[in-house]
A and B are shown apart, each in its own frame.
Chain A
Amino acid sequence: MLDSQLVMYDEDHRRILAVIRKLVQSAHAKGIFVVDRNGQLMAEAGEMRGIDTTSLASLAAGNIAASGGLAKIIGEDEFPVHFHQGRRDSLHISTVGRRAILLVVFDERSSLGLVRLRVRKAQTELARIFEEIEKKSERAGGSAETPFAEITDEDIDNLFNS
């Protein structure tokens, strides 16, 4: 099911990071963010540390969900690529498989053509990684060995008392 639990391990995160760090270089991007379609940030690279990535992730997911809804109305499956041009910085958004969204922020040091070209390759690599993460998550979902299997009511109560 599409809405099975997603579990990301250290090695998955490192692989995603490797791809987007390379993409920062090759696309001359300012910042790159990988967000899941439910609005959570998964990885970031580039020189934009300190911006509000939580909001960024939720709005990017909302944006993709809304444009996907529009696409269905006119008989498309989705709009896989979006481009927002700003005065200084621009934003390139593309979907990665069924699960993720790739955001690339760039300025005059790069160009839409270059970003589009480099994103295409990264997209394929990311899609493959996410497919593997999903397979792993599904397997993990079947077993009981999660750190949460043993959560007690007390653990949960403590969250609210601190």
Chain B
Amino acid sequence: MSFINYSAREINCKIVYYGPGLCGKTTNLQYVYNKTNPDLKGKMISLATETERTLFFDFLPLALGEIRGFKTRFHLYTVPGQVFYDASRKLILKGVDGVVFVADSQVERMDANLESADNLRANLREQGFDPDRIPTVIQYNKRDLPNAAPLEEMRRLLNPRGLPEFEACATVGKGVFETLKAVAKGVLADLRTMGR
């Protein structure tokens, strides 16, 4: 649910990075944070355990510039991926405007990817969204690893709808901004038909 503030001439949108544990969601945000001009970003918050696993969420506010005289702000969130944090994931999806599904390319993580993709759809529905109408992009992360599954297979399993998709290696930033741009585009394009 984007928030348009005529008083401050601002538009705020919420983007959630979803995916199984350790697929690279936090790494995506860290890369964006490290590469963004300090004037355009706020503080990155990570609510993590001592072992750096995301406990509740990571949060990164970004200002992208102006559109038609309105400052556009994107609030990027990640969810904790571990199965037992489902309650937290639901909370973070509240009011979401766009989703990045980060898949882990490693062959042995394919079940976890599928489970998380199903979980995303179920949780979106539970929040009152139609999962097919939320702007979503797919990121195939960890393409650098030798045990990465063939792209074709991942596409077949995870992107039957032919959503915008990107290969990535989040640790070095490959595909990270392309992914972010694509989801931001989807969200902004949605504003044209605001309210629907």
- Using a CB–CB cutoff of 8 Å, the interface residues on chain A facing chain B are 1-10, 12-14, 36-40, 42, 52, 54-55, 58-59, 62, 65-66, 68-69, 138, 140-143, 146-151, 153, 155-156, 158-160, 162
**B185 at the A interface (CB under 8 A):** yes
Using CB atoms, name the residue of chain B closest to A63: B56
A39 proximity list for chain B (CB < 8 A):
14, 59, 75, 95
Contact A10 B6 (CB under 8 A): yes
Shortest distance between the CB of A98 and any CB in chain B (Å):
11
Using CB atoms, name the residue of chain A closest to B66: A159
- Using a CB–CB cutoff of 8 Å, the interface residues on chain B facing chain A are 1-8, 11-12, 14, 42-43, 45, 47, 56-57, 59, 61, 64-70, 72, 75, 87-88, 90-92, 94-95, 127-129, 177, 181, 184-185, 188-189, 191-196
Instruction: Report which of B94, B184, B192 forms a contact with A148, defined as CB distance below 8 A.
Output: B192
A12 proximity list for chain B (CB < 8 A):
7
Instruction: Report which of B12, B43, B70 forms a contact with A40, defined as CB distance below 8 A.
Output: B12
Q: List 28 A-B contacts (CB under 8 A).
A: A3-B94, A3-B127, A4-B195, A5-B194, A7-B6, A13-B5, A13-B6, A38-B1, A39-B14, A39-B59, A39-B75, A40-B75, A52-B42, A52-B43, A54-B42, A58-B59, A58-B61, A58-B75, A62-B47, A62-B56, A141-B196, A148-B11, A150-B68, A151-B188, A153-B189, A156-B67, A156-B184, A159-B188
Shortest distance between the CB of A42 and any CB in chain B (Å):
7
Contact B65 A156 (CB under 8 A): no
Instruction: Report which of B8, B47, B59, B192 forms a contact with A151, defined as CB distance below 8 A.
Output: B192
Contact B195 A6 (CB under 8 A): no
Shortest distance between the CB of A77 and any CB in chain B (Å):
15
A159 proximity list for chain B (CB < 8 A):
64-67, 72, 184, 188
Using CB atoms, name the residue of chain B closest to A3: B1
Contact B5 A37 (CB under 8 A): no
Contact A3 B3 (CB under 8 A): no
Instruction: Report which of B7, B14, B128 forms a contact with A10, defined as CB distance below 8 A.
Output: B7
Contact A69 B87 (CB under 8 A): yes
Contact A1 B128 (CB under 8 A): yes
